[in-house]
Amino acid sequence: MRRTALLVSAALLTSLLPLAVARAADDPAPVPVDRFEGEVPFANPPAGGIFTWGGDTDDPPTLALSKRDDAPEGDQVLSGTYDISGYGGFTHDFAFAEPAHDWSAHKGIRLWWEGQDNGRKIALELKDGGANGEASELWTTSFTDDFSGWKQIEIPFTDFVYRTDYQPVGGIDHVLGLTQMWGYALTLPVGAPGRFALDGVELYGKADQSLRASVLTDSAVYPVDEGGTATVKVTVATTGSAPIDEPVTVAYETAGGTASPSDYTALKGEVTFPAGTASGTTRTVRVHTLKDKAAAEAAETVPLKLTVTGAKAPAETPQVVIDAHGLPYLNAKLPVRKRVADLLSRMSLAEKAGQMTQAERGAVGTGADITAEDLGSLLSGGGSTPTPNTAEAWARMIDSFQLRARATRFQIPLIYGVDAVHGHNNLVGATVMPHNIGIGATRDPRLAERTGAVTAAEVRATGVPWDFAPCLCVTRDERWGRSYESFGEDPALVESMETVVQGLQGPRDGRELKDDDKVLATAKHFLGDGGTAYGSSTTGSYTIDQGVTTVTRKQLDAVHLAPYRTAVDRGVGTVMPSYSSLDIVGDGLGPVKMHARADMINGVLKGKLGFDGFVISDWNGIDQIPGDYASDVRTSVNAGVDMVMAPYAYKDFRTALVAEVRAGRVSERRIDDAVSRILTQKFRLGLFEKPYADTSGAPGIGSAGHRAVAREAAAASQVLLRNSGGVLPLRTSQKVYVAGSNADDIGNQSGGWTVTWQGSSGDITPGTTILEAMRKNSAALTYSQDASAPTAGHDVGVVVVGETPYAEGVGDVGNGHDLELSAADRAAVDKVCAAMRCAVLIVSGRPQLVGGRLGDIDALVASWLPGTEGDGVADVLYGRRPFTGRLPVTWPRSEAQLPINVGDPTYDPQFPYGWGLTTRTAVPEGGPATLAALATAAGAAERAGAGDRGRALVDKARLIVQRKADGRITAAFAAPFADAEHLLLTGRYAEAVRKLAQAYRAI
């Protein structure tokens, strides 16, 4: 039966339904939504029906219509099972082609639920307004399964709140209008297998004004200078935006709070909204504060108590806050160390613990807990964005959270952090840079710094002062799902790219951190996350991420610690420990989680290296330490973690930390050290003077100037691995045949950590795909993704293949991923390259195995993950810029070779570390004599400290050697060739040329 017909026949159906609760005589008849008798099919949008969803392939529940003798209504119920690790549930969407439903006449929604008495919460979500069920506002509430057997759950519409952690299309009007409803969804519990049964979803009761009318205030917090006046706007609003039927009165009174009677003029009164008042009408109440004799005071609060008749009262009592004033820490002219010492001396243990706590924005809702828990920090996890996901909405959201911090005693501003790992990648419309693996391929420290500067400017313009980047991991195994977050396999390469720290922060002394285009940087993940052994991970289905790095102390210092030494020297503001474990051969400790390694965090990072910033844990990182939660807290904090990212367990962390200090298991000195480090960075960022977003740089977000930097980086990141017969560069006059899965997909070419944590395929953010960029350069171009279009009549083919997005351990090889091209991509390569001269571009976060196809491919390009600026790829394809990129990691012949890295005793790759052909018009000529002369000149440059000249001489020698190799890469050639690249990066130019000469002789 169609749902429109079903709702029309509500009265008839109601006579068939058992009534668990007697209804009032004037209540409308219950309106069935789902009876699960087969009237609603299992179907996906845009068709109407019930469908499942989840965070990964294992998370969607199973669903079935089951005959049950005990069914509360009819003969069947909707039943299912689930075992959810991420998130999962099911939805009933009404068909897109049908009118939305009007539920505004009813009090709420109810359903029959078969209780399992497991104490777990089930979230119920409504879809309100918008174009259809998948483009609507989401409103949510929950009920608890704390009973056995069937029970009818009644939920009034007034219990639903607007979802702050996720909205599919952005805010529409932030009002549960009920006049355009598109369906509902249930989110099932996470973490343990379960089963459920559901029946008889229906609308019940009569909507009365006290349920559909609300009184709102324009803010929850009103800061004013001492002696100033706070203006509180009181508004009446209704669901459906209809005028109110009956009068609404709001009595107001100043009462309680921390301010004394001499701090403000007592206020008491009433405002009335008469019947017929339009929804959205506002009245104003003014609270006057007074100057007292105290020259210096902490902030004081004056609650404005509101008593509402005829409507729902505000969720919170608005607070007028008399700003702190006259205290030394507020004096911007004092040195930061003195300001920190003064503020720290005034804080309670609970306030200090709050500063050490970081919560997820989606967990704090409108932010009341920021005040209640004295929170020091919030973050947006990957994909955790405001709605709509615009720069303006980001700034408004963060300002609203900062406003909550103004209601605390010392008004310590929040420090808000995001994972802007290749541009402000959570923000739709931001400039998305190549991932770090591509930046490493550029070998251009100045360009790396410029990409960091663009990222910082776009991030700070949305009110965010802190970036969880750069990742300084040294990737040693391409099976790792985070390979693309690394600049490369050589610590010397990673160190050379750390100019990005200055791009983000400015000079080492931090004097520019307060500027509107700089952010605090984070060196992550300390220590050894790129060296975890395949098969060592114990996190879910991960195979390598978050596993164990086993090294000698010498290997640890030379490979994994070296980039952090450089980062500390560059003044990086924060450091994030790794999820992984470190097993140092011979220390007798075995594998120890990095969040627990005091010898590394306190001893090496803060002690030996002299790091003076603060250490922030990774997402729930302390939870992986063996032991109970109290043990996790004291172990991590005593190990040197200063702030703990406890996204949804922030209350538990703060409570546990206070308890551990009071029990003497964490010293107050350790707490003071941690809080001093955090406050220092907040003062350096200028947050005490300017806590709110400075959006003056917002017009630059996604601007032509910023995209030009990303375009240059994309071009410089392209590595030409093979170019038989000079297929590249292309000529604009050629007839070009383009195929492959990644030719026209902005999501695929941007990779993970783009808009959402895992990223996704498709048109997810503004940008230019490789295909779109090629069309601008080609007089005649045919595109056929699967190469099904006729191939005849074309001069050259370009097949763009590679990976789809992933992030972290989700992308580990063996966890649903491998290093092989997909069957469709292999077929496209085979067909196009058999029909014409061809170039194959591999868009991926790590090398892909080409195998026996290499001989059939005329030109091969490692395109990495170039970001949103596909024009940069076209620039090198069509010769507007020469190919100059070099491999940041070794390209293996087979997966059996992994791990394979420069300096290995056995080294026989498909392409060695540092390999990269060029399309410069003049490639140097020469042989052994030329190389000998270059070595001599390089030695002189080295002795003179002429780095630019030394590097240019090595580059010339490399091009000579690559020309002779012409694809004949053997183990005897590859090892010295790769060694030369490492020597170049460590400033040993003469030895680098000599190694290249050795490679030359091996050909």
Active site residues: 618, 808
Give the DSSP H/E element, type plus range, for residue 6.
Answer: helix 3-8
C-alpha separations of 599 from 483, 638, 901 in Å: 27, 11, 28
Whether omega before 527 lies within 30 degrees of 0, making that bond cis, reads yes
Other C-beta atoms within 10 Å of 174: how many?
12
- Angle (CA) 920-926-927 rounded to 5° is 135
Distance, in Å, from the CA atom of 512 to the CA atom of 475, rounded to the nearest integer, reads 31
Angle of helix 668-684 relative to helix 629-639, nearest 10 degrees, comes to: 60
How many H-runs (helices) and E-runs (strands) does the chain carry? 26, 37
Across the strands, what pairs with 305? 253
- Angle (CA) 46-47-49 rounded to 5° is 120
Nearest Cα neighbor of 643 from 685, 595, 603 is: 595
Q: Which amino acid appears at position 611 of this protein?
A: F
Cβ(455)–Cβ(424) below 8 Å:
yes
Cβ(145)–Cβ(120) below 8 Å:
yes
Task: Report residue 56 CA to chain centroid gap.
Answer: 17
Residue carrying structure tokens 């009933």: 92
- For 500-559, the DSSP string reads HHHHHH-STT-TTTTSTT--B-EEEEETTGGGPPTT---STT-SSTT-EEEE-HHHIIII
C-alpha separations of 515 from 501, 506, 519 in Å: 15, 9, 8
Cβ(430)–Cβ(869) below 8 Å:
no
Other C-beta atoms within 10 Å of 444: how many?
21
C-alpha separations of 759 from 436, 546, 749, 756, 769 in Å: 16, 20, 10, 5, 16
- For 863-894, the DSSP string reads EE--TTBTHHHHHHHTTSS------SS-B-SS
Other C-beta atoms within 10 Å of 357: how many?
25
Distance, in Å, from the CA atom of 605 to the CA atom of 564, rounded to the nearest integer, reads 8
Pairing type for strands 319-322 and 548-551 reads unpaired
Nearest Cα neighbor of 529 from 569, 571, 494 is: 494
Distance, in Å, from the CA atom of 21 to the CA atom of 741, rounded to the nearest integer, reads 57
- Eight-state DSSP code of residue 99: P
Give the DSSP H/E element, type plus range, for residue 950.
Answer: helix 947-965
Q: Which amino acid appears at position 401 of this protein?
A: F
Distance, in Å, from the CA atom of 457 to the CA atom of 463, rounded to the nearest integer, reads 10
Cβ neighbours of residue 823 closer than 8 Å, sequence gap 6 or more? none
Helix%, strand%, coil% for the chain, nearest 5: 30, 25, 45
Residues listed for the chain: 1003
C-alpha separations of 91 from 41, 401, 541 in Å: 12, 32, 27
DSSP H helical ranges for 359-505:
368-372, 391-405, 436-442, 445-460, 491-496, 499-505
